[in-house]
């Protein structure tokens, strides 16, 4: 059953995007109405010409026709070129009306979809990380492209024609009944059958369009994944497997549309049969009445013309309802994004981020599973905290909490004594630099990726950050140096070069807190050590949290936190932790990193 709440939200969303474009569509409606009026006048001109001008008769003239013929002294004085010229004039007005309709309609529909794209993109950027984790990129792309285009097409090609269709139907029926009641009844009696069948068909076909759109999103997701992971697919010789996967879903998706096409064909065939029988009945009845003298030849020709005008909008009703079904599904899919709540908090205030960071009994549940459990520790300002733990132990979750991507289920986090929830996200993210293991690079140059911070970063600062990240030597090997395009997601760079570019970006941004989440995993131990030495100077005074599986990366941190199963199991310097039994000592032994004689860690070193 359709949810009225969803329908209301979808309608509200469309009306919101139509603001500022109503003028275009009202003008289009006027043009559509004028076009319909021109269509109505043509059969009347032909009727008067056949019944009055050619035989020079005044019989059966309407008041308007009598006034026009009176300008020439009556039917006898009308030259035969006048009806032809009048038909050309009406046709010219119709052409002008159609031209203006299409121009203004194009403007209005493009402004409509421009506002929709901008608003939905803005909402996508504000939705939480957990929301994006639950929705595939391919499906979101399908909603933001195909579904939006379906909406634009419906607004521009169907919705604005509703007035014209209504006018054509009402005016055609009105002229028919004004000429002859019996023949008009023959023309309109089959119409209710077509209307009822059209609405029943609309309700059934909407479900099919929903299934087709959902599976188009799944197909887009498969293609998107393979484009993003092209190198991985080739590395594991997975081309055949991925081809079969896409082919199987593509075959299923094609079958859905074929099935829908059969249903549409049955509908159009039924409509064609009904309207064909209606036309046959009208021609036979009209011919008999014309021969018997019940109607004139001009009225018979006018009836046939009006019936053609009546048949077209009735058949268009079916197309309109089909497109309405598609547009309704697409609108709901777009509204799903637009109406998704911004789960990340709003509001808050600016705060000083140079003080102590405190985790006080922090726990986090995610999808019914406890990821962090009762974590408590503090990081003094300007110090370095190392974080070690097995995969899935909660290390990255810790970083995501600190950067405001998640909210703790229990406990609280404070910076400089201010609860994290009271700090605005804009302030928090202006003060925290977050470098992940798989950094994202934009399709820009190396320099563009380093200087992407909202703050202005000069060439000199960019080069200094690149030096600190041990990137300068690698960039020197490229022909265009820092102006080298990195390709989509940095595909032209190695994993280590991408990580160093991301580190340079963080250094250049001059933040108060730095989180390096396995950000040195793709560089060798020598480069790792060189980068940490450089960062010790560049990030002097900043608070640094380093997450790593390497003991060599963490051993010089002021404190090292060891996590296991979402719990903080130990906290201390490298020397203290290596001297006592536990997870840290086991990892040290596995990496051959036990010190000759345990001692304190290097204060303030990276």
- pLDDT tens for 545-557 read 999 888 888 888 9
Is there a domain that residue 136 lies in?
Answer: yes
Most confident residue range from 14-28, 63-77, 230-244? 14-28
Both 107 and 47 in one domain: the answer is yes
Give the residue among 489, 475, 425, 214 at the shortest CA–CA distance from 336. 214
pLDDT given for residue 559 in this prediction:
93
> How many domains is the chain built from?
2
- pLDDT tens for 290-319 read 888 888 888 888 888 888 777 777 766 666
- What angle is formed at CA 486 by the lines to CA 485 and CA 488, rounded to 5 degrees? 115
pLDDT given for residue 387 in this prediction:
92
Q: Which whole number is the average pLDDT over 444-462?
A: 82
Give the residue among 398, 432, 414 at the shortest CA–CA distance from 547. 398
Q: Which conformational region is residue 549 in: left (phi greater than 0), alpha (psi within -120 to 50 degrees), or beta?
A: alpha
Both 363 and 303 in one domain: the answer is no
Both 31 and 112 in one domain: the answer is yes
Q: Which of 338, 369, 401 is the last residue of a domain?
A: 338
Is there a domain that residue 79 lies in?
Answer: yes
DSSP-assigned beta bridge partners for residue 435: 516
Under 8 Å CB-to-CB from 82, ≥6 apart: which residues?
A: 53, 72
The per-residue DSSP string of 94-157 comes to HHHHHHHHHHHHHHHHHHHHHHHHHHHHHHHHHS-HHHHHHS-HHHHHHIIIIIHHHHHHIIII
Is there a domain that residue 273 lies in?
Answer: yes
pLDDT given for residue 562 in this prediction:
92
Cα separation of 100 and 26, whole Å? 12
Both 20 and 58 in one domain: the answer is yes
Angstrom distances, CA of residue 122 to CA of 14, 115, 189, 338, 381: 16, 11, 52, 9, 35
Q: What is the DSSP letter of 331?
A: H
How confident is residue 363, by pLDDT bands cut at 50, 70 and 90? Answer: very high
Both 47 and 149 in one domain: the answer is yes
Is there a domain that residue 478 lies in?
Answer: no
Cα separation of 575 and 601, whole Å? 6
Both 404 and 295 in one domain: the answer is no
Cα separation of 446 and 486, whole Å? 6
The per-residue DSSP string of 59-105 comes to TT--HHHHHHHHTTTSGGG--THHHHHHHHHHHHHHHHHHHHHHHHH
Under 8 Å CB-to-CB from 156, ≥6 apart: which residues?
A: 105, 106, 108, 109
Q: Are 391 and 547 in contact (CB under 8 A)?
A: no
Residue indicated by tokens 């905290």: 385
Q: With 60 as the cut, is the pLDDT of residue 606 above it?
A: no
**Strand-strand pairing, 432-435 and 513-517:** parallel
Q: With 70 as the cut, is the pLDDT of residue 601 above it?
A: no
Query: What integer best gives the mean pLDDT of the chain?
Result: 82
Residue indicated by tokens 């075959």: 251
Q: Which whole number is the average pLDDT over 377-385?
A: 91
How confident is residue 4, by pLDDT bands cut at 50, 70 and 90? Answer: very low
Is there a domain that residue 414 lies in?
Answer: yes
Q: Which strands, in side-by-side order, build the sheet including 418-419? A: 369-379, 357-366, 410-415, 418-419
Cα separation of 182 and 311, whole Å? 18
- Determine what percent of the chain is predicted with pLDDT higher than 70: 92
Judge residue 82's burial from the number of C-beta atoms within 10 Å of its C-beta, 0-12 exposed, 13-18 middle, 19 or more buried. Answer: middle
Name the more confident of 566 and 44. 566
* φ, ψ at 360 (rounded to 5°): -115, 100
Q: Which whole number is the average pLDDT over 441-465?
A: 83
DSSP-assigned beta bridge partners for residue 570: 562
Cα separation of 354 and 542, whole Å? 7
- pLDDT tens for 483-539 read 888 877 777 788 888 888 888 888 888 888 999 988 888 788 888 888 888 888 888
How many Cα atoms occupy the beta-carbon half-sphere of 477 within 13 Å?
6
Coarse DSSP helix, strand, coil percentages of the chain, rounded to the nearest 5 percent: 65, 10, 25
Both 377 and 318 in one domain: the answer is no
Is there a domain that residue 598 lies in?
Answer: no
Both 231 and 106 in one domain: the answer is yes
- pLDDT tens for 384-436 read 999 998 888 888 888 888 888 888 889 999 999 889 888 888 888 888 888 88
Q: With 50 as the cut, is the pLDDT of residue 603 above it?
A: no
Q: Are 194 and 317 in contact (CB under 8 A)?
A: yes
Under 8 Å CB-to-CB from 399, ≥6 apart: which residues?
A: 434, 515, 517, 545, 547
Full-model pTM: 0.63
Domain hosting residue 519, numbered range: 357-439+513-590
pLDDT given for residue 92 in this prediction:
94
Q: With 80 as the cut, is the pLDDT of residue 448 above it?
A: yes
pLDDT given for residue 359 in this prediction:
92
The per-residue DSSP string of 267-292 comes to HHHHHHHHHHHHHHHHHHHHHHHHHH
Both 102 and 206 in one domain: the answer is yes
How confident is residue 345, by pLDDT bands cut at 50, 70 and 90? Answer: low
Longest CA span, the chain: 125
HEC secondary structure over 163-178: HHHHHHHHHHHHHHHH
End-to-end Cα, the chain, rounded Å: 60
Is there a domain that residue 157 lies in?
Answer: yes
Among the residue ranges 8-12, 381-385, 458-462, the one predicted with the least confidence is 8-12
The per-residue DSSP string of 394-410 comes to SHHHHHHHHTTSS--SE
Instruction: Report the CATH number that the domain containing residue 146 is assigned in CATH.
Output: 1.20.1560.10
Give the residue among 550, 552, 576, 572 at the shortest CA–CA distance from 562. 572
Buried b (16+ CB within 10 A) or exposed e, 158-180: bbbbebbbebbbebbbebbeebb
The per-residue DSSP string of 357-396 comes to EEEEEEEEEETTEEEEEEEEEEE-TT-EEEEEE-TTSSHH
Q: With 80 as the cut, is the pLDDT of residue 105 above it?
A: yes
Q: What are 391's two structure tokens?
A: 């995969």
Q: What are 535's two structure tokens?
A: 């960062």
Both 246 and 365 in one domain: the answer is no
- pLDDT tens for 71-95 read 777 777 888 888 889 899 999 999 9
Q: What is the DSSP letter of 340?
A: S
Q: With 80 as the cut, is the pLDDT of residue 1 above it?
A: no
Q: With 70 as the cut, is the pLDDT of residue 593 above it?
A: no
Q: Are 420 and 403 in contact (CB under 8 A)?
A: no
Both 146 and 193 in one domain: the answer is yes
Residue indicated by tokens 């036309």: 279
Both 381 and 286 in one domain: the answer is no
Instruction: Report the CATH number that the domain containing residue 554 is assigned in CATH.
Output: 3.40.50.300
Is there a domain that residue 130 lies in?
Answer: yes
Q: Which whole number is the average pLDDT over 343-365?
A: 81
């Amino acid at each position: 059953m359709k949810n009225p709440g969803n329908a209301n939200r979808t309608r509200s969303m469309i009306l919101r995007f139509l603001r500022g474009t109503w003028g275009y569509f009202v003008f289009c409606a006027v043009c559509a109405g004028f076009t319909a009026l021109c269509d109505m006048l043509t059969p009347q001109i032909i009727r008067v010409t056949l019944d009055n001008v050619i035989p020079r008769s005044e019989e059966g003239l309407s008041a308007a026709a009598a006034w026009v013929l009176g300008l020439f002294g009556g039917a006898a004085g009308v030259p035969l070129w006048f009806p032809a010229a009048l038909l050309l004039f009406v046709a010219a007005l119709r052409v002008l009306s159609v031209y203006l309709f299409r121009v203004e309609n194009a403007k209005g529909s493009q402004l409509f979809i421009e506002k929709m794209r901008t608003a939905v993109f803005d909402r996508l950027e504000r939705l939480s990380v957990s929301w994006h984790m639950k929705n595939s990129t391919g499906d979101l792309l399908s909603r933001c492209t195909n579904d939006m285009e379906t909406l634009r097409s419906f607004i521009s090609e169907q919705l604005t024609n509703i007035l014209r269709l209504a006018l054509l139907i009402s005016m055609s029926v009105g002229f028919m009944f004004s000429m002859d009641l019996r023949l008009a009844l023959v023309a309109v009696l089959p119409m209710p059958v077509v209307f009822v069948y059209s609405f029943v068909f609309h309700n059934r076909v909407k479900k099919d369009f929903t299934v087709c759109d959902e599976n188009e999103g799944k197909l887009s997701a498969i293609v998107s994944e393979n484009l993003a992971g092209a190198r991985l697919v080739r590395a594991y010789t997975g081309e055949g497997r991925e081809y079969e996967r896409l082919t199987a879903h593509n075959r299923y998706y094609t079958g859905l549309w074929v099935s829908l096409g059969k249903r549409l064909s049955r509908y159009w065939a039924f409509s064609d049969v009904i309207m064909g029988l209606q036309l046959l009945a009208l021609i036979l009845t009209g011919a008999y009445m014309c021969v018997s003298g019940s109607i004139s030849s001009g009225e018979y020709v006018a009836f046939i013309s009006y019936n053609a005008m009546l048949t077209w909008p009735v058949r268009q009703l079916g197309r309109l309802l089909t497109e309405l079904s598609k547009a309704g599904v697409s609108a709901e899919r777009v509204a799903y994004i637009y109406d998704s709540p911004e789960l990340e908090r709003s509001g808050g205030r600016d705060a000083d981020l140079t003080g102590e960071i405190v985790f006080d009994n922090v726990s986090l549940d995610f999808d019914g599973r406890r990821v962090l459990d009762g974590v408590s520790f503090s990081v003094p300002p300007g110090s370095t905290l190392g974080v070690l733990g097995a995969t899935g132990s909660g290390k990255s979750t810790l970083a995501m909490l600190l950067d405001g991507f998640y909210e703790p289920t229990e406990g609280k986090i404070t910076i400089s004594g201010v609860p994290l929830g009271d700090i605005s996200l804009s302030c928090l993210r202006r003060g925290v630099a977050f470098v992940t293991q798989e950094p994202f690079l934009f399709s820009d140059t190396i320099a563009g990726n380093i200087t992407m911070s909202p703050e202005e970063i000069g060439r000199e600062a960019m080069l200094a950050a690149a030096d600190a990240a041990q990137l300068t030597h690698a960039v020197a090997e490229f022909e265009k140096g820092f102006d080298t395009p990195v390709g989509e997601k940095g595909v032209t760079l190695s994993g280590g070069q991408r990580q160093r570019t991301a580190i340079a970006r963080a250094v250049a941004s001059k933040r108060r807190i730095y989180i390096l989440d396995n950000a040195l995993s793709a560089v060798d131990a020598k480069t790792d050590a060189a980068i940490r030495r450089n960062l010790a100077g560049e990030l002097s005074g900043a608070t640094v949290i380093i997450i790593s599986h390497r003991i060599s990366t963490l051993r010089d941190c002021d404190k090292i936190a060891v996590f296991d199963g979402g719990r903080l199991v130990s906290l201390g310097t490298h020397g203290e932790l290596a001297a006592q039994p536990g997870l840290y000592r086991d990892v040290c032994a596995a990496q051959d990193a036990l010190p000759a004689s345990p001692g304190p860690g290097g204060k303030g070193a990276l």
